[in-house]
Structure 1
């Protein structure tokens, strides 16, 4: 064989050899007793070319190319020799210390025994009585202003003036009365919807709203809306995506809790605020009634009164130092103002529930119950959902962890549902009615007590969201925070109505619509004067040009002609428009 095609053989400490042909490699493997690993290496880059290295007309057997494109590396299992090279890091020779195994909780099928007493204390009921006593006899406006108080209106005035100066308008000022009228118009738009906001000041009898046009001019309303602000743009907090609304959110959250927590059952859930613009905090949730918008975390009572809320701005904006997960951190954050945990029970769904959260709430002395996903039931030997789904409806299984005082219950209804609680029990069993497809009749199904209590205590956020969106403000704005601001106004109105339902006697209780109308009309009447206008009456063309029944009529007071603008005492009897008779204005107007 030619010298250029001699096999290359290289040997190292670990029995590595390199060959250029398969035959050489096979002979070496057969002559070696140890096992071998074969690796085909690519050719060297400096000899790799697209041009043939020999003459096509003079092909000799010795010049036949190799049967592999590069080289063949054979590694034999010779580990008797050890390399003394200093290039190897010492860390690879040190055996890693095994990680200490986490202590798995022990789950047993026993009756739960908690550190909490079975019944909560009466502190919530005592605070509820104080709320009734303090608000007894209050009308809807007075209750609304207990939550949307003068501090809110003053914030709107001060920050709006600052923003107008930043926009080089040094003539803008606003009063408390004008801001209340502004809020009144927004509330009115919730139950009196028109396609465009300017139509509230229209002179057409089928569009205009006299109480609106009589309270404030259209241009003044638009000017207030243009400069409305709640935070100083010169003091931007780059770490807070909601800095534009943070002062307003803080005031409202404080006002909502000014009497403390006066309900026993509390629930944590999310609410969506519809928004289709561009913002980094906008969320998309598939399958929800509101798919696009901002997500609000809310803490509400079982009746729908909101105690705390916050807008979700992304994982990066959450508080540092908490490692319980997004849902658990939200629950801990909303409950940080809960001053008497023994008086309340908190409910939440499987988005929030984890075993670590339940342990944390137990350590804080907070009773909690929540549905839990099966992949979060760590090492719990309870019957799997797949197996329980084969059982008949009403079947349940449970396990209790004595160390962490935690109960997990699975119950099959239409589907299998899991519940975790640090205070609730299974018995006495409740019985609910369900439709049986097999028997074609209504049957009775047993239900553990923890599920009955969860259904009674959960759902407060949904009740609040339902009432808030019933008469949602319809006037729209171009700023990204406008939908959140109007949502806060609606939530405040819902909370005010909930307070009125608590404090009013049965004869004085009114619906949410009547409550909203009461507040809106009160604000719009603060400056309700008959406004004079020089604009001509807008007569529909079908009436103006029908040539039927248009006769001049003399009036006592001189008014300006709608065509030549001279002062006259004549008008069209049908159109009610001032027109000259001598100067042919009457004819020009109707033709």
Structure 2
């Protein structure tokens, strides 16, 4: 974690806690005033260590009181008291809460987006990807009210924050991520999400590098595969597209199948040679090879 990220966390967490205790003391003047002890760098490292240890020992769903029990791992008690852990967890912040509402008008993930962008920068700085990279989705378990919490019944957590990642296929090292909030980074609702995600994650990092991008069938659109191959010298989802019908999408409204390649060679030949034109009625892409006899798509014909 970079110093810039830590500085933001220290500053905003301490700001939030001090403001809370100031307001609480003013609200209850007859009580003994309480003050906040600022989070230090070493204390924050210990806090992160506790979180990592709970993950390694699969204790994420164990009550914190039980973690600090004398029969539990001694590192919890050695790092800090359970009350201090509760306090840090309560007040930890990743942005300036005073300006969050204004930023949320254009960014649903305003509470974490600045730190997440810095994290992406750190990830790219310290690793060079191999020849093959993978685009995947990850669901971070979370049931809070974010406005973009996803429900994916096929995932173990089912509820959480979905993040798209491009990772090195060998080491699984994450190279860049994007939080899915339901709208494009421009703030507008979008179509062809698969194409936009792959290009956002991969083109700036791997443009003209000749790398292979492997992903599941969610991303196997004809337009995306051909665009990356011709414009960016990248190949996409070779294994995922073999044995599946390849579709062509114009603006998300329609799709057309060009066939089912049985091998990598057939797929590359299909991507490199299959032209297409538009249906004369609905403007849906139609294979140009057959458009002389069938100037209309299957739906309009």
TM-score (norm 1): 0.38
Match of 1:223 among 65, 70, 87: 87
1:380-399 counterparts in 2 under 5 A?
A: 382=259, 398=266
1:349 matched to 2:216? The reply is: yes
Partner-residue secondary structure (3-state), 1:309: strand
1:114-125 counterparts in 2 under 5 A?
A: none
Aligned partner of 1:164 in structure 2 is 17
Q: 1:223: how far off?
A: 1.7
Match of 2:107 among 200, 217, 240: 240
Does the 8 A contact of 1:382 with 1:397 survive in 2? no
CA distance in 1 between counterparts of 2:273 and 2:133 reads 19
CA distance in 1 between counterparts of 2:217 and 2:168 reads 18
Aligned partner of 1:153 in structure 2 is 6
CA distance in 1 between counterparts of 2:228 and 2:17 reads 47
Q: 1:367: how far off?
A: 1.6
Tell me the alpha carbon deviations over residues 13-53 of structure 1, each in whole angstroms, 9 at most, x when there is no partner: xxxxxxxxxxxxxxxxxxxxxxxxxxxxxxxxxxxxxxxxx
1:346-495 counterparts in 2 under 5 A?
A: 346-370=213-237, 371-372=240-241, 374=245, 376-377=247-248, 382=259, 398=266, 405=272
CA distance in 2 between counterparts of 1:340 and 1:260 reads 16
- Aligned Cα root-mean-square deviation (Å): 3.2
1:276 matched to 2:136? The reply is: no
Tell me the alpha carbon deviations over residues 499-534 of structure 1, each in whole angstroms, 9 at most, x when there is no partner: xxxxxxxxxxxxxxxxxxxxxxxxxxxxxxxxxxxx
Q: 1:196: how far off?
A: 1.7
**Cα distance change on mapping 1:362 and 1:218 into 2, 3 Å:** same
Q: 1:396: how far off?
A: 9.8
Match of 1:306 among 171, 174, 181: 174
Q: 1:354: how far off?
A: 1.5
TM-score (norm 2): 0.70
CA distance in 1 between counterparts of 2:176 and 2:148 reads 19
Q: 1:249: how far off?
A: 0.9
CA distance in 1 between counterparts of 2:82 and 2:267 reads 65
Partner-residue secondary structure (3-state), 2:140: strand
CA distance in 2 between counterparts of 1:397 and 1:264 reads 19
**Cα distance change on mapping 1:200 and 1:380 into 2, 3 Å:** closer
CA distance in 1 between counterparts of 2:267 and 2:80 reads 65
Does the 8 A contact of 2:207 with 2:234 survive in 1? no
1:186 matched to 2:51? The reply is: yes
CA distance in 2 between counterparts of 1:218 and 1:163 reads 20
CA distance in 2 between counterparts of 1:180 and 1:365 reads 41
CA distance in 2 between counterparts of 1:214 and 1:321 reads 49
CA distance in 1 between counterparts of 2:247 and 2:4 reads 45
Does the 8 A contact of 1:266 with 1:346 survive in 2? yes
**Cα distance change on mapping 1:365 and 1:322 into 2, 3 Å:** farther
CA distance in 2 between counterparts of 1:395 and 1:267 reads 20
Q: 1:227: how far off?
A: 1.3
CA distance in 2 between counterparts of 1:291 and 1:331 reads 24
Q: 1:199: how far off?
A: 2.8
Partner-residue secondary structure (3-state), 2:122: helix
CA distance in 2 between counterparts of 1:251 and 1:395 reads 41
Does the 8 A contact of 1:345 with 1:366 survive in 2? no
Partner-residue secondary structure (3-state), 1:160: helix
Q: 1:319: how far off?
A: 2.9
Aligned partner of 1:199 in structure 2 is 66
1:559-570 counterparts in 2 under 5 A?
A: none
**Cα distance change on mapping 1:241 and 1:187 into 2, 3 Å:** same
CA distance in 2 between counterparts of 1:220 and 1:306 reads 32
Does the 8 A contact of 1:266 with 1:301 survive in 2? yes
The size of the alignment, in residue pairs, is: 247
Partner-residue secondary structure (3-state), 2:219: coil
Select the structure of larger CA radius of gyration: 1
Structure 1: gaps (5+ residues):
1-147, 386-393, 408-591
Q: 1:326: how far off?
A: 0.7
Q: 1:198: how far off?
A: 2.1
Structure 2: gaps (5+ residues):
23-34, 249-254, 275-301
CA distance in 1 between counterparts of 2:273 and 2:134 reads 19
CA distance in 1 between counterparts of 2:206 and 2:267 reads 31
Aligned partner of 2:117 in structure 1 is 250
Partner-residue secondary structure (3-state), 1:161: helix
Q: 1:380: how far off?
A: 5.7
Q: 1:290: how far off?
A: 3.7
CA distance in 2 between counterparts of 1:235 and 1:200 reads 36
